[in-house]
Amino acid sequence: MPITLHRGDITTDAAADAIVNAANSTLLGGGGVDGAIHRAAGPSLLAQCRRIGGCATGDAVITGAGDLPVRHVIHTVGPVWRGGGHGEPELLASCHRRSIALAAAHGCTRVAFPAISCGVYGYPLDLAAAVAVEAAAAAIREHPVEVRFWLFDAAAHAAFERALR
């Protein structure tokens, strides 16, 4: 299955079956892509997240998608960058593997990902892109889904383009 890159707003991806949310551990919304997904999905997404009660770093959970043009939102909690020596690459890879496994288990064939941990969590773009692409490529060998990375700006798109080469 392919890995493709897209530039723009992940919440507009009507071709995906699931959108991955770069969530915080409370799942109650926040800034960046998390806030954008919650705003676009409407209040039912927050209600579903409240019922789940949270998610550990490196793990993922799935909900319905509210008003988004997809069936599911997969919430994953990426690591905060602390220099790279505190398990950040393994946790970020786990976010991608767990999200793809959840998507496949729920019948999804196309999954849209943001650049997890690259906003306020401070993960360097080039390092995150390399981990994300490698983890996604490995995961789709086991769970054949299409991975669609949505990158909000030119710098993120360029980093993921380099990682795909």
Active-site option among 9, 17, 34, 59: 34
Assess whether 67 carries a catalytic annotation: no
C-alpha span between 105 and 27 (Å, rounded): 21
Tokens of 152: 């909000």
Q: Are 165 and 19 in contact (CB under 8 A)?
A: no
User: What order of strands is seen across the sheet that includes strand 146-151?
Assistant: 3-7, 146-151, 110-113, 18-23, 72-77, 60-64
Q: b/e per residue, 39-66, with b = 16+ CB within 10 A? A: ebbeeebbebbeeeebbebbbbbbbebb
Q: Are 116 and 99 in contact (CB under 8 A)?
A: no
Positions marked active-site: 34
